[in-house]
Structure 1
Amino acid sequence: MKIDIYNIEALASEKIKIKICELSPNSKLRISMKMELPWCTEEEYSSYGVFVSDEKGEVDLDLNSPVEGTYKVADSMGLIYSLKKSRSQGKNIAENISINEPIIMNMVFESDDEKREINLKRLFKTEDVIVKNICEKNFSGQLFYKEKSNGKTVLMLGGSDGNMSSLSLMAAPLASKGFNVLTVPYFASKGLPDKLEKVPLEYFEKIFEWIETNEITNCKEILLHGTSKGGELALLLASRYKQIKKVVVIEPHAYCFQALNGMMSGNNVSSWSYRGQSIPYIEVDNNIFFEDRKHAVENGIPFGFASTYKKSIERASNKEEARIKVENSEADILMISGKEGNIWNSYDGCLEILHNLKKSNYKYKIELLIYDKMGHPIPIPYIIPISETLSMNMMKGVFSSGGTIEGNVKGQFESWKRTIEFFMEPLSQKLKK
């Protein structure tokens, strides 16, 4: 057999193409894949597909659906996005994340009379990306950059888990495209709140000043990338600081919310503060969560937090006060959300933001990407198996972040591609209405 693989060594977020020739016509071909994440080799993931060659003795994974396997539709990425855990020592893949070593994906091709083995090398960054630890008086973080960058600097804000190392999985590939990418914590770090409560917005003023004056970044126009709770923060910052000129938010919301501590209610304060005062917020009633979880478990369906947020907003008497005034921004904004998100009701929030921006005759570019079968995945494709983040056994039931494996990977890939394009585009001046 002859095996042609496009992008056999490439960034982990990029697609591969696989075509096999010189097989016996109408014969079966089994392709299996095994993979370990380089920082957690104790956990193994596997997938497979069985294919039937055509009259020419060819199998093209972008044209041929498997007749059996871990995925169902024609797609050269199917073996990667359908990876599921096949061996485990109970290690947590969210710990000790490192981008220093690539992912090696072992592929075995088995026909009736031949067996071949090929390894894919999936990189987190190109060789010219430099990772520099930043330890300033006022903040710490990591800067990902090339010596010859495109001159654009993205400040990347993660979600409520506060896992800084997971941001490198997005920052490094983005820096590989030529951007300077700065990742910073906003809680659980020196000089910051231990929990995600009353995070001071003025902390970011120091970071903005550093970006504007540092010899590597040295730019007056700030680009923000925020995921989930980091999306809430990014929109809040953009509404208050005019130097922010582009914002990409993934699964954001339209409101500021109460500080939370895991699945239990935190103090009766906001997640955010300014000059020591809580920024107005929607109180989250966790009794809703426990009632909805009980109903879901009794009926054998997955549960999440989306209904908790939706009902808490409906009950709130201070919605306008707690609403993020995105219309005060002077930034181009790209919002990305899945219709089936189950962490919170981001889809509803995005529609509300869009409605308010149109109503206020917003003068800058606004774009909303919606994906029908996407839930609340990480914003970059083909790195962490979706089976790991889609659902898990919890509290005598199944917790789900929402959507399907196929829907999530489609949203991941298309929105990540659009994110890079969006950041590359020239800043819009005030749009004429």
Structure 2
Amino acid sequence: MRKLSSQVQLLVTPAKALVDDKVDITVERLAPRQPVTLHARLVEGTARFQSYAHYRADDTGRVVMAKQPSLGGLYKGVDQMGLFWSMQLSPGQKPGLRLKKKDVSTPFLVDIRVHDGHLDVMGEENLPWLATKTVERWYMGGGVKRIQVKEGRVRGTLFLPPVSHASIIIANTGDGLFAGVIDIYGSGGGLPEYRAALLASRGFAALALAYFAYDDLPKDIADVDLDYFEEAADWLLSLPYVRSRGVGVLGTSQGGYLALCMAAYMDKIGAVAAIGSPTAVVGAPLPYKDKAFPCIQWIPDQFEVTKEGFINLVNGLEDATKGNGLKACIQVEKAHCPIMFVAGEDDLNVQAVPFANQAIARMNAHEKTNYTLLQYPRSGHLIEPPYTPHCSLFYHNVYGECS
């Protein structure tokens, strides 16, 4: 790799920021109307991601990404953060890898380079460049505390903001400093921490909650009970620096229906957001106290395999609109807290929009209005924090395939 002789300057502000912060990228001292390629590269573990876009300098020799359009590459048009959300796996990588931060104590390091001319740079490592900068993108902001949790049955990681963030959340009322949030992911299991770390960086006491396939927890999601999540909520509310007026719950996929169950059956829940979620219990009956909520089942015979060999699960669940399926629907009309349904219209894992509308119909039938539906066209199952690279398919360790 070599640098061309040039006085070109690449300005990136801020060069260190949270992943959901915007970044200003400007190239200066180009020739008037000079064509250039902006190229972003990131390595996380063994996975390599990159993006690129074509620009033309203005009459003063500048490219300002927030004001000038990309003319080609992986996206077109004016998009200040295009180099970040458009990142794709570099050629030769295993299909189905998505960009996930496993160690939130370190940042994503994004190398941004300026190349002369309009080039296709995917997979190229040794092209000459005019200027380069490295950008740090963090999930865990400065001063955030990360605390491993092993209390009773509860397993997870608690992230606490700096005390200076407390005034952002609430005024000094004598209650705990921070609003508490429980973050629950889906059927992949384990303990994803990145979203909870980001929530803490924005001022919340956030508990990334594991519930199976982690430490001494059940190995299989079918062995999970709802009492476990109530124990986690009680523990979080018991902390002196957490507000006592109910915890929020953020859940994705099967974590979303667990969040909805918490809202429906526990009065200690203050708000819920369910992302890409069924609104019925799925896969196995869900025990809670002295009963068990019935479920709808996955039907493998209805999974569709694409010509590329990927699995489309969207029609693979029992019908929850009739017969025994209705009994599995979560009684969201019992919830007293606000509920937000977040659904992608092109979700090929769960029929997120129909499920959300079915739940909303239940609420309307009981004259409940404590809901919001955020419905996104051309969006799929994984709706992640802002500027996360788009992921059209991913490898799921439960199904052993890409979906």
TM-score, with length taken from structure 2: 0.83
Distance in 1 separating the partners of 2:84 and 2:336 = 40
Counterparts of 1:334-353 in structure 2, within 5 Å, are: 334-353=340-359
The equivalent residue for 1:153 is 180
> SS at the partner of 1:207?
helix
CA 1:214–1:171 in structure 2 vs 1: closer, same or farther (change >3 Å)? same
1:183-240 CA distances to partner (integer Å, 9 max, x unpaired)?
2222234664321114211222322221222233352311111111000000011100
Q: 1:384-403 to 2 correspondence within 5 Å?
A: 385-387=389-391, 390=393, 399-400=402-403
Distance 1:393 1:285 in 2: 17
Q: Displacement, 1:161?
A: 0.4
User: Of 310, 329, 333, which residue of structure 1 is paired with 2:335?
Assistant: 329
What CA distance in whole angstroms lies between the structure 1 residues aligned with 2:225 and 2:395? 33
CA contact under 8 A between 1:393 and 1:399: conserved in structure 2? yes
Q: Aligned partners of 1:93, 1:74: CA distance in 2, in Å?
A: 25
Partner of 1:416: none
Q: Which runs of 5+ in 1 are unaligned?
A: 260-269, 401-433
Aligned residue pairs total 371
Paired with 2:156 and 2:264, the residues of 1 have a C-alpha distance of 23
Q: 1:88 to 1:31 in 2, by over 3 A?
A: same
The one-letter code of the counterpart of 1:118 is: K
Structure 2 residues without counterparts, runs of 5 or longer: 1-7, 118-127, 170-177
Q: What's the secondary structure of 2:237's corresponding residue? A: helix
- Equivalences for 1:103-142 in 2 at 5 Å? 103-111=108-116, 115-142=130-157
Aligned counterparts of 1:393 and 1:190: Cα–Cα separation in 2? 20
What SS class does the counterpart of residue 154 from structure 1 fall into? Answer: strand
The separation in 2 between residues aligned to 1:212 and 1:258, in whole angstroms, is 30
Q: Are the aligned partners of 1:211 and 1:218 in contact in 2 as well (CA < 8 Å)?
A: no
Greater helix percent: which structure?
A: 1
What amino acid sits opposite 2:186 in the alignment?
G
The 3-state SS of whatever aligns with 1:306 is: coil
What is the distance in 2 between the residues matched to 1:189 and 1:277?
A: 25
Indicate the residue corresponding to 2:80 in structure 1. Answer: 76
Give the aligned residue type for 1:105: V
Asked if structure 1 preserves the Cα contact closer than 8 Å seen for 2:343 and 2:375, the reply is: yes
- What corresponds to 1:382 in structure 2? 387
- Show the counterpart of 1:426: none
The one of 362, 366, 375 equivalent to 1:370 is 375
| Paired position in structure 2 for 1:49 | 53
How far apart are residue 392 of structure 1 and its match? 6.3
Q: Structure 1 residue 313 and structure 2 residue 319: aligned? A: yes
**Deviation digits for residues 224-277 of structure 1 (CA, Å, limit 9, x no counterpart):** 111110000000111000111111111112211223xxxxxxxxxx2x212465
Query: Helix, strand or coil: the match of 1:233?
Result: helix
**Could you tell me the percent identity over the aligned residues?**
23
Cα distance, 1:20 vs structure 2: 2.6
* 1:129-157 alpha-carbon deviations (Å, 9 max, x no partner): 00001121232221000241442000111
Instruction: Check 1:125–1:137 CA distance in 2 against 1; reply closer, same or farther (3 A cut).
Output: same
1:285 maps to 2:289: no
Task: State yes or no: 1:219 paired with 2:244.
Answer: yes
Distance change in 2, residues 1:155/1:375 (3 Å): same
Give the letter for the 2:264 counterpart: S
Are residues 1:66 and 2:73 paired?
A: no
CA contact (8 A) 1:250 1:379 kept: no
Distance 1:353 1:46 in 2: 39
Give the drift of 1:315: 8.3
Query: Cα offset for 1:358?
Result: 1.9
Contact 2:55 2:71 in 1 (8 A): yes
Work out which of the residue numbers 287, 295, 298 in structure 2 matches 1:273.
287
SS in 1 for 2:340: strand
Q: Work out whether 1:33 is the aligned partner of 2:40.
A: yes
What are the Cα deviations for residues 370-429 of structure 1, in whole angstroms up to 9, with x where unaligned?
Answer: 11000012522334x434x535699xxx944xxxxxxxxxxxxxxxxxxxxxxxxxxxxx
The residue number in structure 1 matching 2:173 is none
Question: In 1, are the aligned partners of 2:276 and 2:383 still within 8 Å (CA)?
Answer: no
Q: 1:305 to 1:154 in 2, by over 3 A?
A: same
- Pairwise CA RMSD of aligned residues? 2.9
Q: 1:205 aligns with which of 222, 230, 253?
A: 230
- Counterpart Cα distance in 1 of 2:396 and 2:340: 33
Contact 2:71 2:77 in 1 (8 A): no
| CA distance, structure 2, for counterparts of residue 93 and residue 340 of structure 1 | 18
TM-score, with structure 1 as normaliser: 0.78
**Cα distance in 1 between the residues matched to 2:297 and 2:90:** 41
- Counterpart of 2:281 (choices 244, 256, 265) is 256
Pair 1:4–1:233, CA change in 2 (3 A): same
Structure 1 residues 66 and 147, CA gap change in structure 2 (3 angstroms): closer
